[in-house]
Amino acid sequence: MRKAVIPVLFVFSLSANAQEKKAADTTKTTDIQEVVVTSLGIKRQARSLTYSSQQIGGDELTEVKTPNLLNSINGKVSNVQINRTNGVGSSVRVIMRGNKSVNNAQPLYVIDGIPIINGTGKSADIGQYSNMPDPGDVLSSINPDDIESINFLKGASASALYGSAGGNGAILITTRKGRAGKSSIAYSSSFTVERAYSLPKLQHSYLSYDPSISGQQPGQAVDSWGAKGASKDYLKDFLQTGTTWVNSLSFQSGNERSTSYFSIGNTTNKGVVPMSYFDQYNVSFRNSSKFLDDKLTLDANFIGSLQESKNRQTPGASFSPLTSLYWLPRGVDFDQYGPNNYFYLDKTRFLPAQNWWEVNPDGSFKGNPVTQNPYWILNRNPVTVSNKNTYGALSLSYQINPWLTARVRGNYSWNISDSQRDIAAFSAPSLLANGINGRILKNTYENSSTYGDVLLIGSPKISESISLDFTVGGSINTTRNKIGQIDNAYLANPNLFTLNNLQWNVNRAPGDGYHNTYTNMKKQVQSVFASASVGYKNMFYVDMTFRNDWDSTLALTGRTGFDYESVGANAILSSIFKLPEVINFWKVRGSYATVGLGLPTNITNAMVEYNKGYVYGVDAGTLVYPKSSFATGAGFEALLPKPELNKTFEAGTELRLLNNKLNFDITYYNSNTSNQLLETTIPSNLGGLFPGSYYINAGKIRNTGFESSLSYKIFDSERFGWTATVNASANKNKIVELFPSRLPIPEEQLFSLAGGGDYTRLKLGGSFGDLYGIKFKRDDQGRVLVNEKGVPLAEGTPSYLGNPNPKFIMGFNNSFNIGKLGISFLIDGKFGGKVLSLTEKANDLYGVSQATADARDAGGVAIPNAVYAPGTPNAGQAYTGLTNAKDYYKAVGTTEGFGKGIDEAYLYSATTVRLRQASVSYTFDLNSKYLRNATVSLVGTNLFFFYKKAPFDPEQVSGNTPGGVGVDSFGLPVTRSIGLSLKANF
């Protein structure tokens, strides 16, 4: 197969799994007879698959590098929604075929056929007072150069053999290994520079005071509703040019009996915010050896990484240096509070004290919420994140006879995330939580997983017409989670941020920092499974799988396990009928699967009174009891905890035309996930169920949609090649059922999603992630009601605003080769949805946004379709005047959080179309004694938007949580990166 100079993104699902070939070749498969790798690392013929999958080769991941390899996939795989969190090294939120679960909608990650736990620390939420950043995940620590290919199994049928862990689909990662007969060294390096753009539009034409009035001066007021005047834009000077340097060195060698691959890598990032950095070191080793006349194969793999970061951006206003500059009263000279003058020596305590315009002479702060000197935040309120990840796997495979193989495998993965924020004395009192010597916030999350399985894999020859592939086996998967959280504002010695400097036996005030929780959780799943694929004359195939899991999370529920099945069939129409020559291959397929999902670890302890105190652990010596319990009384058996159940149907077709130049794949799917674990309050007695807070298994979430991919080799020669690829998908999500009809819970009852800060909620008939907030008060005709001054009125209770998830996603990739010159670019768009900006809401309140200046210049704010409210002198009459800008923005804007201001004024379209990445490369074939070839590339990511109406990037989220989507809470600005990369093969 001829190698392309520029790897072509593979978008054709069923033929995309050839993981035994070189990465550049795996992106496009033209031989439908090829053996592919599927669930559990089992090899199958591509033509026999009855479900949709999609793969990209490793070269696609490294063509334009990003520190987290999953960010490189955005726009390249249909119906995979990827959301970034804040900064380099942060985790990535991946949703395939829509949100399915209120507890866990993330896919399963698999390395070389064996599942791993993509462990993370405590995810940040969208609250204004968040105090810790997103800590990152295991996938963010894997070196993209170590990846041979990534395969996306998006449906339950494809991942059914992985059991409950694969209920949301699976992402199969195949790592590189050495090649027989070759000893080589490869070095790659990329250096990019990043600049923030698409910043909030701020005004610098109105001051915070009136110079013409005697006694007024900068810094007296916390907002900027003063006189006309010019002020300096300090934000652009504060943000710096970031840099990212990624280096990787790999060695591989081998013969027919043994191959080895070893690599080391390093990523160093200096962020766009001063004093923020990220360092990562990677190591990877894989060996494959054969023994006993090549019947016994040993495959061993190790991956390890160390990460250190400082001052990763935290959502919310409390610890954001950018917010302090957004809200800086216009006219205040920020230069006098710069990096060399952000503190002074307090002569009473001989400690550094904060130098800031908002600090009064008595040490009190003026604003609410307060801001701090950005350099004080970075130096005296720093946050550090330290992550360590290790993964080791061993596989033994013995070929019993030509058609039967036994395999024993196991892996161990361990990761720990340690985050700590130090809050020095003389910080804002609200952040010190009644402490005077400082405060420590520390989160430690340690996750480990031990997995082992035994497989018997066979392909006996039944007859010339009938083929059979089967797998039977069993597995044990044990996970452990140790969580420690410390919050202490009682330091014995000021500004000494060590654990042995903390005091616990002190008299405490309500609301102060005083927590020391520790939780140790263990979960085990024991499983048996089987699969079979029967084919007839290479024209018809039927797939069947069965799996039963015994899950420890179901302890005390009266049941110990659950089973699920899948069945699929396909027909190769091009083999059955004589079709026109233009059609090279045509297949139709369909499948149905039921997959379960266990409960959160330890939660069923709440069913037994004696065990309740051990559900969450101990806090500073005090047992922590759960807020909610289970309905265990007679007659409420239907409400007892049970596994989630995902029932999925999918059907699709695959076409190859014009000598395999044109490839097309389309899939329709319908999934229903029931038995969601919800937490709700029962307000009144219900036949023996007393009022209180309960966990209830109910709710059904439906996702329907399609995903398609089209790839066309427009030109295909060594002198000039052009391949265009389009991915397109749409998903519709609906909450079909929320709470059981037998419970007296109103249909309008809302359920808050974790991490959503009350803004994202579920409601019967709505969609996952719906945004709720305060809207304009309107009359029966939908007209906005204003008071006698023309100031709009607000509704008293939150209501539905919109949904942030895109209705349609499309990626358009083009790859050209002109001799040895390669050019590629990727445009992707997400269409539909609404997002909310808390940043703009606060900026308007303080009069620092450009919108407030424009309104003042225009003489006020025009409110379309408005009438005077009842009770005003002109009640019912149309309001056509201009509302005083300050009065208007003081009404709609706020910094007080959920339920204040008017959120509807800050809704924006979530639609974006961007140039995601581009590269221009040239390959030098040197064929010297030591250097075989080298490729030099000019690369760029997130270069610009063709279309964006929101004042922030709707793709960015605060944390990897179910509810953390669609709300901008003072997040990191969009960054554009441009740089050079080098790949050399020795």
Q: Is the pLDDT at 68 greater than 80, yes or no?
A: no
SS3 of residue 126 by DSSP: coil
What is the helix (H) or strand (E) element at residue 734, kind and residue range? strand 720-737
Q: What is the pLDDT of residues 531-587, one digit of tens each?
A: 999 999 989 999 999 999 898 888 877 777 888 889 999 999 999 999 999 999 999
| Phi, psi dihedrals of residue 638, rounded to the nearest 5° | -65, -15
CA–CA separation, 321 vs 377, rounded Å? 6
Q: How wide is the angle at C-alpha 629 spanned by C-alphas 623 and 635, nearest 5°? A: 150
Q: What is the pLDDT of residues 131-163, one digit of tens each?
A: 888 787 777 778 888 888 888 888 888 888 887
85 Cβ contact list (under 8 Å, min separation 6): 91, 92, 93, 124, 134, 956, 957, 958, 959, 960
Q: What sign results for the dihedral spanned by CA atoms 228, 230, 232, 236?
A: positive
Q: Lowest mean pLDDT of 51-65, 692-706, 893-907, 919-933, name the range.
A: 51-65
In sequence order, the β-bridge partners of residue 21 are none
Residue 947, pLDDT score: 95
CA–CA separation, 355 vs 357, rounded Å? 7
- CA diameter of the chain: 101
Burial of 131 (0-12, 13-18, 19+ CB in 10 A): buried
| Residue in 391, 397, 482 with CA at minimum distance from that of residue 116 | 391
| Residue in 272, 253, 275 with CA at minimum distance from that of residue 263 | 253
Q: What is the pLDDT of residues 322-345, one digit of tens each?
A: 999 999 999 999 999 999 999 999
Q: What is the pLDDT of residues 293-320, one digit of tens each?
A: 999 999 999 999 999 999 988 888 889 9
% helix, strand, coil for the chain, step of 5 = 10, 45, 40
What is the helix (H) or strand (E) element at residue 842, kind and residue range? helix 838-845
pLDDT band at 634 (very low <50, low <70, confident <90, very high): low
Q: What sign results for the dihedral spanned by CA atoms 66, 69, 71, 73?
A: positive
Q: Is the pLDDT at 11 greater than 80, yes or no?
A: no
CB atoms near residue 249 (< 10 Å): 16
The mean pLDDT value for 659-683 works out to: 87
CA–CA separation, 600 vs 67, rounded Å? 31
Residue 138, pLDDT score: 78
Name the DSSP letter for residue 361.
Answer: T
CA–CA separation, 831 vs 770, rounded Å? 16
Q: In what order do the strands lie in the sheet with 751-752?
A: 751-752, 760-762, 770-773, 799-802
Q: Tokens 């620092």 map to which residue?
A: 848
Residue 12, pLDDT score: 27
Torsion of CA 750, 756, 759, 762, to 10 degrees: -30
Most confident range (mean pLDDT) of 74-83, 594-603, 907-916 is: 907-916
CA–CA separation, 418 vs 306, rounded Å? 12
Q: Is the pLDDT at 261 greater than 50, yes or no?
A: yes
Percent of the chain scoring above 90 in pLDDT: 56
Residue 114, pLDDT score: 82
Residue 687, pLDDT score: 60
CA–CA separation, 412 vs 395, rounded Å? 12
Task: Region of 254 please: left (phi>0), alpha (psi -120 to 50) or beta.
Answer: left
Q: Is the pLDDT at 164 greater than 90, yes or no?
A: no
Give helix then strand counts, H and E, for the chain.
11, 48
Residue 512, pLDDT score: 67
547 Cβ contact list (under 8 Å, min separation 6): 160, 161, 163, 527, 528, 529, 530, 563, 564, 565
Burial of 524 (0-12, 13-18, 19+ CB in 10 A): middle
CB 657 within 8 A of CB 582: yes
Q: What is the pLDDT of residues 228-255, one digit of tens each?
A: 999 999 998 999 999 999 999 999 999 9
pLDDT band at 20 (very low <50, low <70, confident <90, very high): very low
Q: What is the pLDDT of residues 401-424, one digit of tens each?
A: 999 999 999 999 999 999 999 999
Residue 327, amino acid: W
Residue 610, pLDDT score: 56
* Token pair recorded at residue 250: 């790999």
Residue 614, pLDDT score: 54
Residue 657, pLDDT score: 93
Residue 679, amino acid: E
Residue 584, amino acid: N
Residue 607, pLDDT score: 66
* Token pair recorded at residue 510: 């309500």
Strands 644-657 and 583-597: antiparallel
Percent of the chain scoring above 70 in pLDDT: 91
Cα end-to-end distance, the chain, whole Å? 23
* Token pair recorded at residue 373: 């000197």
Q: What is the pLDDT of residues 436-451, one digit of tens each?
A: 999 999 999 999 999 9
For the chain, give the mean pLDDT.
Answer: 86
CA–CA separation, 297 vs 548, rounded Å? 29
**HSE-up (13 A, CA, CB side) for residue 94:** 29
Q: What is the pLDDT of residues 769-822, one digit of tens each?
A: 899 999 999 999 999 999 999 999 999 899 999 999 999 999 999 999 998 999
Residue 801, pLDDT score: 95
CB atoms near residue 617 (< 10 Å): 17
Most confident range (mean pLDDT) of 55-69, 626-640, 835-849 is: 835-849
Residue 731, pLDDT score: 95
The mean pLDDT value for 12-29 works out to: 33
CB 826 within 8 A of CB 917: yes
The mean pLDDT value for 736-759 works out to: 77
pLDDT band at 6 (very low <50, low <70, confident <90, very high): very low
Q: What is the pLDDT of residues 498-509, one digit of tens each?
A: 999 999 888 776
Residue 272, pLDDT score: 93
Residue 685, pLDDT score: 67
Q: Is the pLDDT at 623 greater than 80, yes or no?
A: no
Residue 146, pLDDT score: 86
List Cα–Cα distances, 918 to 5, 60, 89, 693, 979, in angstroms.
Answer: 15, 12, 22, 52, 11
List Cα–Cα distances, 617 to 484, 676, 754, in angstroms.
Answer: 10, 24, 20
Residue 488, pLDDT score: 92
Q: How wide is the angle at C-alpha 723 spanned by C-alphas 720 and 726, nearest 5°? A: 160
SS3 of residue 201 by DSSP: coil
Residue 584, pLDDT score: 92
CB atoms near residue 875 (< 10 Å): 12
559 Cβ contact list (under 8 Å, min separation 6): 642
CA–CA separation, 697 vs 738, rounded Å? 9
pLDDT band at 510 (very low <50, low <70, confident <90, very high): low
In sequence order, the β-bridge partners of residue 540 are 536, 571
Q: What is the pLDDT of residues 911-963, one digit of tens each?
A: 999 999 999 999 998 878 888 899 999 999 999 999 999 999 998 877 677 77
List Cα–Cα distances, 802 to 95, 376, 549, 568, 793, in angstroms.
Answer: 19, 38, 38, 37, 20
Q: What is the pLDDT of residues 870-909, one digit of tens each?
A: 999 999 999 999 999 999 999 999 988 888 999 999 999 9
Q: Is the pLDDT at 17 greater than 50, yes or no?
A: no
Residue 32, pLDDT score: 47
Residue 613, pLDDT score: 52
Q: Is the pLDDT at 27 greater than 50, yes or no?
A: no
Q: pTM here?
A: 0.89
| Residue in 905, 897, 975, 978 with CA at minimum distance from that of residue 937 | 978
| Residue in 414, 323, 450, 332 with CA at minimum distance from that of residue 377 | 323
